[in-house]
């Protein structure tokens, strides 16, 4: 199986979907002539032309609104928001229109819209450019929110998102774009939205993660194995719908859970997962559910502070050791 980057997987998928369905079109800032701020749309303008790959003005509210209208009339727009930080000006369009139209018009019209956007990051992008807002959208009924961690999942889920008749927020990560993984060639696989994936089986503790934090979790799981601690990594892949059964099944097996996400600690994704676990697996818990999340500060620019403000492998290892306290392995 070919090994390609996460970016390449996205680029391939966008090209294939543009070729497969004439109703698919791309919109966003700098996605055409500049070929994308992160080169995800590289080569697509040349291949499909300016009617299918549309450079927009710096006006997120406006072009997300345009995309919603286009979607209502049968097109399948895939909008790129340069980073999730810029989505805030379009949030009314997304939450009050895209998420509600199918419901408020009695099902007469759907909004088959995809919004792709990278979230989080530690790249010295400072307070207004490093944030994680996927939980804002996962909070909103009427939206689907997916956040793949691997090139394989990115491809399967982007296909699913484009072919889905409802608005899907597709969360990417700057740090993942250059990561590599196996992706089958000439295989039109589609990953159903809302199904988590046990990325690594284990017996001692469940780590629940998504997107970039899944990569961190897998790396930590490998390290913990050398200490004799068997970590199961549940990659959510989708925040809404949330695959609660897979999380619960895993925690019932391991009796311990650590939830890691890049967003801020309070009211973040980790809170939702932790609450789910205590509700549905209470009698299976052998330790409190620990949460590893972002430090609750406006995200700093300074290199060290920027790195320190986001959860990392050491934080996760610390939490795993905390939930493992008192077990034979830790005694």
Partner 1 sequence: MGEITMPRLSDTMSEGTVGRWLKKVGDQIAVGDIIAEIETDKATMELEAFEAGVLQQILIPEGQTVPIGHPIAIIGDSATPVAPTPSIPPVTTQPSAPSASAVTPVTVQAVSPAAVAESATPAPAVGGDDNGRIKASPVARRLAEELGIDLRQVVGTGPGGRIIKENVEEFAARRGAAVPAPTVTPSTPPPTPVPVSPPTPVQPPAPARTPTPAPAPKLVGAEPLSRMRRAIARAMTDSKPGVPHIYLTIEVDADALVALREQITASGTRVSINDLVVKAAAKALSKVPAVNVSYSQTADGQPGIVRHSQINIGVAVALDDGLVAPVVRDADKKSISVISAEIRDMALRAREGKIKQQELEGATFQVTNLGMFGIVEFGSIISVPQAASLAVGAVRKVPVVRNDQIVIGQVMNLTLSADHRVVDGAVGAQYLQELRKLLEAPMNIIV
Q: Are 258 and 223 in contact (CB under 8 A)?
A: no
Stretch that binds partner 1, among 102-110, 144-152, 173-181, 287-295 (CB under 8 A): 287-295
125 sits near partner 1 (criterion: CB under 8 A): no
326 sits near partner 1 (criterion: CB under 8 A): yes
Give the nearer residue to partner 1 in terms of CB position, either 153 or 272: 272
Subset of 288-317 contacting partner 1 (CB under 8 A): 288-296, 308-312, 314-315
DSSP 84: G
Among 197, 274, 276, 306, binds partner 1 (CB under 8 A): 274
Stretch that binds partner 1, among 59-67, 77-85, 146-154, 322-330 (CB under 8 A): 322-330
Report the side by side order of strands in the sheet with 114-118: 53-55, 24-28, 76-80, 114-118, 168-172, 144-146, 238-240
Q: Distance between alpha carbon 193 and the CA centroid of its chain, in Å?
A: 12
129 catalytic residue (yes or no): yes
DSSP 212-241: HHHHHHHHHHHHHHHTT--EEEEE--EEET
Q: Are 243 and 210 in contact (CB under 8 A)?
A: no
Q: Are 255 and 203 in contact (CB under 8 A)?
A: no
Give the nearer residue to partner 1 in terms of CB position, either 109 or 307: 307
Give the nearer residue to partner 1 in terms of CB position, either 28 or 311: 311
304 catalytic residue (yes or no): no
| Token code pair at residue 161 | 């998102």
Stretch that binds partner 1, among 38-46, 87-95, 186-194, 270-278 (CB under 8 A): 270-278
Q: Are 275 and 135 in contact (CB under 8 A)?
A: no
Give the nearer residue to partner 1 in terms of CB position, either 155 or 256: 256
Q: How many residues bind partner 1 (CB under 8 A)?
A: 39
**Burial 148-170, CB ≥16 within 10 A → b, else e:** bbbbbbbbbbbbbbbbbebbbbb
Smallest separation, CB 122 to partner 1 (Å) = 10
Q: Are 36 and 46 in contact (CB under 8 A)?
A: no
24 sits near partner 1 (criterion: CB under 8 A): no
Catalytic one of 16, 42, 129, 225: 129
What is the rounded CA–CA span in Å between residue 80 and residue 67? 11
> Which residues are identified as catalytic?
60, 129
Q: Which residues bind partner 1 (CB under 8 A)?
A: 255, 258, 265, 271, 274, 278, 282-296, 308-312, 314-315, 318-319, 321-322, 324-328, 330-331
């Amino acid at each position: 199986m070919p090994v390609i980057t996460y970016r390449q997987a996205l680029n391939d998928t966008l090209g294939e979907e543009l070729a497969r369905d004439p109703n698919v079109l791309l919109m966003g800032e700098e996605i055409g002539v500049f070929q994308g701020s992160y080169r995800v749309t590289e080569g697509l303008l040349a291949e499909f032309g300016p009617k299918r790959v549309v450079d927009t003005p710096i006006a997120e509210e406006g072009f997300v609104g345009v995309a919603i209208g286009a979607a209502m009339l049968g097109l399948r727009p895939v909008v790129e928001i340069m980073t999730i930080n810029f989505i805030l000006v379009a949030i009314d369009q997304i939450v009050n229109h895209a998420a509600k139209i199918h419901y408020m018009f009695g099902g007469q019209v759907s909004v088959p819209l995809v919004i792709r956007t990278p979230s989080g990051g530690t790249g010295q992008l400072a307070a207004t450019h490093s944030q994680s807002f996927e939980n804002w959208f996962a909070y909103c009924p009427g939206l689907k929110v997916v956040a793949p961690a691997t090139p394989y999942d990115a491809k399967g889920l982007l296909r699913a998102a484009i072919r889905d008749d409802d608005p899907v927020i597709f969360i990417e990560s700057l740090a993942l774009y250059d990561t590599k993984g196996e992706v089958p060639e000439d295989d039109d696989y589609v990953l159903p939205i809302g199904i988590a994936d046990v990325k690594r089986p284990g017996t001692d503790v469940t780590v629940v993660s998504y997107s970039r934090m899944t990569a961190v979790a897998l790396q930590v799981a490998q390290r913990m194995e050398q200490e004799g601690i068997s970590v199961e990594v549940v990659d959510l892949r989708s925040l809404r719908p949330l695959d609660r059964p897979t999380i619960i099944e895993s925690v019932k097996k391991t009796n311990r859970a650590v939830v890691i996400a890049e967003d801020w600690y309070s009211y973040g994704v980790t809170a939702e997962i932790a609450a789910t676990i205590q509700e549905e697996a209470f009698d299976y818990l052998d330790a409190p559910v620990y949460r590893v999340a972002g430090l609750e500060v406006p995200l700093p620019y300074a290199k060290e502070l920027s790195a320190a403000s986001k959860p990392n492998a050491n934080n996760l290892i610390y939490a795993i050791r905390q939930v493992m306290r008192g077990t034979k392995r830790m005694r």
